[in-house]
Every structure is written in C-alpha cells, then in structure tokens.
Amino acid sequence: MTLSADDVQIWLDAYVAAWRSGDPGDIRALFCDDAEYCYQPWGEPVVGADAIVNDWLKDRDESEVWQAHYQPELVDGTRAVAIGETVYPDEGRTYANLFLLEFNEDKRCCSFTEWFMKHPKPRD
C-alpha cells in the first residue's frame, strides 16, 4: 500500500477532530491495535490503541482553548512526516509541531512520534 498526501491529510484532520471531541471511539479509530505513540522522540511510547485512548483522556485540553492545523510534508509508502502549529491564544502559547507517522494497510497509524517546540514569543 502507498499512501497519498490526501490520505495523510484525512488522517490528520481526523486526529484534530478526535482531540477536539475527546470521543474514545474517534481516538481509537485513528490507531492500530498495537500502535506506539511517543510524545517526544526520546520518551517511552504509549503502546496499544486502548492505552492511547486512556492517555489522551486523562489530561484533555478543552476544545475551545486551542487551534491546530497540520499538513503532510513528505509521504513515502506507508510513512509520512507532517508539520503544523498548535496555538493556545488565551495563554499566548504557540507550538511548532512535527510528526513522524507510519500507517498500516487500513490507513490507521501504527507509529506516531511527535516533536513540539514552543515559539519563543506569541505570534500575532
């Protein structure tokens, strides 16, 4: 299977929607049963779709307090690199994000590694 940039964008849009909704079914649908999710490249991964759901739900951001947009930068076979920003306007925080993604034949993510860097000053 070869992913297209459109396939990855559909997944990224569903990722943002699941983060916003906090619906366990929406979150779980994004990931393979044995997916690994790393919040930092050097951190221990959260392993398994159910564990990812539980981890996301234990410390949720309220859906109204942030904005996010991510887009595929590079797609190669079943792997992708995505970039974007997450903005917390009320708190004056903006993060640049880079995701390394690997998908299965069902276009569910099996490996997710995130890099996030806080902008040194708020963007207008």
**Once rounded to an integer, what is the mean pLDDT over residues 29-40?**
97
The 10s digit of each residue's pLDDT in 8-20 is 999 999 999 999 9
Q: Which residue has the tokens 């539980």?
A: 54
Domains in the chain, please, with CATH?
5-118 (3.10.450.50)
Q: What is the pLDDT of residue 63?
A: 61
Query: Is 0.85 surpassed by the pTM of this model?
Result: yes
Residue 122 has pLDDT above 60, yes or no: no
Q: How many CB atoms lie within 10 A of CB 119?
A: 13
User: 18-48 as b/e, with b when 16 or more CB fall inside 10 Å?
Assistant: bbbeeeeebbbebbbeebbbbeeeeeeebeb
